[in-house]
Each structure stands twice: as C-alpha cells, then as structure tokens.
Amino acid sequence: MRGVVRSAEDGTPTVGAQVVAVGETGRAIASATTDTEGRYVLVATAERFELTVHAAGRYVLEAGGVESDRVARACGPSGGCAEANFLLSRGSVVEGWIRDKYGNPLATIELELQTATEDPAPKRRPIISPLQERNRTWRTVSDDRGYYRFWGVRPGSYRLARRGNTTRFAGIPGGPEIDEAVEVRAGERSVTVDVQFVDPPTIYTISGVLEGVAQDDPRWITLEPLDEGDRQTVYVKDGKFTHPTPQGRWVARLENVMNADPAAHDVDVLAKLVVDRDLTDLRLRPQPPTGVRIRAEFADGAPIDFRLQLHSADRPDAQPRTIQLTADGAEVVRGGFLPGDYRMSVQAGEFYLVDPPVVVVLAGQPTDVTLRLSNLRATLRGRVRLPSEEGRGEAAQATVAIRGRETRSVRTDDAGQFAFEQVIPGQYEIAAWDRTEVAPDDEQLWNQAGSRVRRIAVEPGFETETDLTVGP
C-alpha cells in the first residue's frame, strides 16, 4: 500500500506524517511515516482496512480523492491495493485561559474538545473506534498560567468540557463543570474561549410528607427550576421524601408519569418552594388544577378562529403554550400551567391584542384573562429632508424605520415621502438614514441616531404625519 501526502494549501509534500491502517476491529494493524517527498509505503496483512493520516497541526481534508478524513481499501490475495493519496489542511488553534471566580489562574485542569452531536443525550453511547475517537476528541491540560491550547482542529462545532470528577449524584455537583460551545470556521487560524469558574450552588435538604395520595403507590415529585438549574426528580416512598436540592426557586409538582410535560398532562401542582436553607417537615398536598380561564372581546369584527400563545417570563427557554380559540366569545379553560408570569401573543390574521396583558398564574386556582382584539389599524406617513446645512431638499431613496408594537422599515420616493400602511396602534420610535441597508432591530443603529429619533403615538383608525431629518 503506497501513496503521497501533500499540503492542501500549496501542494508541497508533508514530511513525517503518520499513515495508519485500521482493521475491522477498530485497532491499528500497520503504520508508516512519510519521507522527504511525502511518500509512504505500508504493509497491511488484512484484506480490508481504513487509512488515515496524523500530522501535527493538520487534519485530513481529502482522502483518496474524496472529501473525507479516511479512505477504505480492499486488497486482493496478491496484496495489491489501489494507491491512496491524501491532502492535509492547516488546522485551527482553540486556546484560552482557565480562571477561578477571583481571576486567579487554574493549573492542571484537564480539558476535552469534543465533536458536538445533534443529540446531546443519546439513549446509548455510540461505539467509536480508537481512530474515530482520535479524530473526534482533543485533550490537553492547562499550565501554571491557566493557559490551554488545542491545535490542528478541523472546522466544525465542538463542546469544550472538563475531564475528571464532574459527576452528579442525587443532584449534587461533583465539582466545577465546563460546557462551552465552540465554533471553528474554515480558514480561521485561532479561536479564543476563556472560562471562569464560579462556585457551584449551595446544596440544601428538603424533606417532608406527601399528603392526599395513597401512600403505598410509588410517586415522583418534580422540582421545576424557575432560576438557572436542572430539573430535579424526588422519589417518594411510603408518603415520605428527602432530597438534596440546589439553592433556588422551584415549583414542586406531582407526577404519575416520569418527566410528564405539564402542557400535555393535568399535573398536580404542590407548591412553589424557595430553597435558601434546609426545609424540613414540609407537608405537600396536591392543589386544585392550575391554569387560565380566557374570554375574548372584539372591538371591530371577529376572526373565524385564532391561536393564543403564552410565553413563560420565568423560563424563557420553555416552549410557549398554544391555545386555540373561536370567535364566539365563549370561555376557554386550560390547565397544566406552572405558576408564574406569562406574556401573550396572538395569531389571528389582521387582528392584534389591544394592550397585551401580563398574566400571573397562581398555584391552585384558575386565572381569569379577558382579551380585547381589534383589526382597526392606522397609517403613518411623512417626508424626510436633508440636514439644514445642506439646504431644504428632500432626501430621496432614504430608509425610514419604526419600532414599537412592530418593527419594520420603508424607502422614501424621489420626493422624500414615505408611508407605513396597516400599522398596529401604539407608541413608536421613528428615524431616517441616508442608506439603503438598515436593520430596524439593530439597537446600536438607534443609539447612533440620537436626537434624530422621534417618539410618536399612532392611534387606531387615524393617519399620523411626521417630518424627519436624515442622518448617516
């Protein structure tokens, strides 16, 4: 088995690269080192194997004429195999500093840079050969300055993690953890990721009795975090429970099914707990259903049907609850809510919420919500002029942006006139720029506009006019 290993950047031979043959068991069966011309000769006793190359600071870009980090070969009884050439590309450097919460360097911290997967928690750990593991994972240790460095990293998505004792048992952190996302782009020479450890949350013990349920049935209490943290599962035996719990705010709920989704099940909410000390002798009892009772009112006409979404303000990453409503104004009751504050949005064609409310859902009772919807919109128009020192001319083909109940932009015509049609009434900010590419949701752009930003009230059913001065 022979071939040539070259640089993908300039085609020069790669000297001293290690070519490895891996058999069907995932073990290396032969290896060879490239000479001054980048050539190698390798003798493999197996008929079928895979070839790849290892070289300091580089990764395999092309193997056997294909974009891959390895190439398969099947050799006949006579031992003849097709030539396998490789192209290596310069890898990126991923580096940074590891410090404690006071900014002091942390030495001898073992780190791994792992290839990210779409499923962060696979049901079964995949079987990976030593060769695949070497191509998927980089390992290093921080020095006495707290500095670490991985080199020869190929483009892709990675997770920076700490090796060692970071195991959790019964919800107790085993030590400072690292879980940082790292993105390495093609052609990027260096990526810096600094990590600063903070103290793990203080662990307290909660214990008590679960009342109002049959004590001989196995039960689970789920502690849903309202702050940062992982969901906790508390096992109840003979009606009693005890559990080490990180400091924070939690919603305790009872489940007959492990990890039940409160949006899909009418779970029983038990209590809202603030864990800032040991909580003993707790007596938890299922509360009446927690949810919302919604009634809609329509100012002008009514949609055929519409959907309402409630977004948790306490848990921004949680999926919103979607409720289908009809235009007959009948009450709709939905349970399975966790206590907390919820923001509302509506999907109803041209209809919008008048003064969208913040809904406060309390444990053990339904919350009454009355919604007012309207399709009566407004028009906002005006003219954009050049700054006074440039005369009183109109600013043709300028960009005007608004933000408030909605955010969007339009271009002025040759006379400097603009118009926003079908605007949702409310309070808005408006400004103009003498450029064609404007992102109206760019906060920095609005800050730069400064005194040119005007604040206006758009009333339903009316046409509002305003004149603006263009800026850079």
Q: Specify the pTM.
A: 0.50
Which residues, at least 6 apart from 346, have a Cβ–Cβ distance to it below 8 Å? 306, 307, 308, 309, 352, 353, 371, 373
- In this prediction, residue 172 carries a pLDDT of 43
- The position carrying tokens 């070519």 is 19
Phi, psi of 342 (to 5 degrees): -130, 135
- Which residue ranges form the domains of the chain, and what is each CATH number? 2-90 (2.60.40.10), 92-196 (2.60.40.10), 203-284 (2.60.40.1120), 291-374 (2.60.40.1120), 378-469 (2.60.40.10)
- In angstroms, the CA 62 to CA 69 distance is 6
**Per-residue DSSP letter, 390:** G
Per-residue pLDDT of the chain (472 residues; tens, 9 = 90+): 889 999 998 999 999 999 998 887 778 888 999 999 999 998 887 888 889 998 888 889 899 888 888 888 887 666 567 789 999 998 899 999 999 888 899 899 889 998 875 444 333 333 334 444 444 578 899 999 999 999 888 888 898 988 754 434 344 444 557 888 899 988 888 999 999 887 777 899 999 999 887 766 667 888 988 887 788 889 888 889 999 999 999 988 886 555 545 545 555 778 889 999 999 999 998 877 678 899 888 877 777 778 889 998 877 777 888 888 877 767 888 877 777 889 998 888 888 998 888 899 887 778 999 888 898 999 999 999 988 655 567 888 999 999 999 999 999 999 999 999 999 999 999 999 988 788 898 998 899 899 999 999 999 989 999 999 998 8
d(CA 139, CA 164): 12
- What's the pLDDT score for residue 207? 96
The number of beta carbons lying within 10 Å of the beta carbon of residue 415 is 11
Backbone φ/ψ region at 256: left (φ over 0), alpha (ψ -120 to 50), beta? alpha
Helix (H) or strand (E) holding 63: strand 58-63
Is the distance from CB of 418 to CB of 410 less than 8 angstroms?
Answer: yes
32: nearest Cα among 60, 56, 52: 52
Hey, which bits of 424-471 come out as E strands? 426-433, 454-458, 463-469
Q: Provide the pLDDT for residue 23.
A: 85
Give the residues across from 361 on adjacent strands. Answer: 340
DSSP 401-423: EEESSS-EEEE--TTSEEEEEEE
H or E stretch at 447: helix 443-449
Pairing between strand 18-22 and 48-54? antiparallel
Distance CA 60, CA 334 (A): 56
DSSP code, position 17 = P
Here the tokens at position 456 are 């206006």
Which pLDDT score, from 0 to 100, does residue 348 have?
Answer: 84
Residues 30 and 51 sit within 8 Å (Cβ to Cβ): no
